[in-house]
Amino acid sequence: MRCPSCDYPESKVVDSRPSDDGTTIRRRRECLSCKHRFTTYERLGDTPLLVTKSDGSSETYDRNKLMRGVTVACAKRPITPDQITSLIDSIESELRAAPRNEVTSKDLGTKVLERLESLDDVAYVRFASVYKDFQNIEEFASALEELR
């Protein structure tokens, strides 16, 4: 593992423990050159998930892309980074437990909305406004009404 500080290619593991959900391993590492400490996370390497977009094209599922979208929706809300990570982890667990390794972008967005609805109303509406591509104020008002 390359050091993020000095780019030295070797490090040693100082501490290793499983994450709360048991799907990742958290490792504290120390660079053998500059002694900088950093954290890495290891996930099981299995078949990649594919996301089928509305135009019919497919792309590999990108956790960071989903994380960015949820983080933007949750900006300046009383939601911790751990809650966002937990939300993403639960979606990934559900997707990996499914018999197919392919999901539509619509289904993925619906899974996010289901979880955001119980977490925070404002984050839900923010995500829905992008996901559902609101074209006018009536569509926005309808989404707000559904929350009541």
Domain presence at residue 131: yes
Q: What confidence tier does 87 reach under pLDDT thresholds 50, 70, 90?
A: very high
- Identify whether residues 61 and 39 lie together within a single domain: no
Asked if 113 and 128 count as a contact pair (C-beta separation under 8 A), the reply is yes
Is the residue at 4 inside a domain?
Answer: no
Q: Is residue 24 within 8 Å of residue 18, measured between CB atoms?
A: yes
Report percent pLDDT > 70 for the chain: 97
> Of 59, 58, 83, which is closest to residue 70 (Cα–Cα)?
83
CA end-to-end span of the chain, whole Å?
Answer: 50
pLDDT at 46: 64
Indicate if the pLDDT at residue 133 is higher than 80. Answer: no
Bridge partners (DSSP) listed for residue 125:
none
More confident residue, 33 or 143: 33
Do 74 and 96 sit in the same domain of this protein? yes
* Residue 79 φ then ψ, to 5°: -125, 125
pLDDT of residue 118: 92
Whether residue 101 is contained in a domain is answered as yes
Q: Verify that 58 and 33 share a domain, yes or no.
A: no
CA nearest neighbour of 112 among 134, 140, 142, 90: 90
Residues 78 and 120 in one domain: yes
Q: What tens digit of pLDDT does each residue of 104-122 get?
A: 999 999 999 999 999 999 9
- Give the range of the structural domain holding residue 111, as residue numbers without chain letter: 50-147
Q: Which of 118, 128, 20, 21 is nearest to 70 (CA)?
A: 128
Together in a domain, 17 and 85: no
Mean residue pLDDT across the chain: 89
Mark whether 122 and 81 lie in a shared domain: yes
What pLDDT score does 85 carry? 93
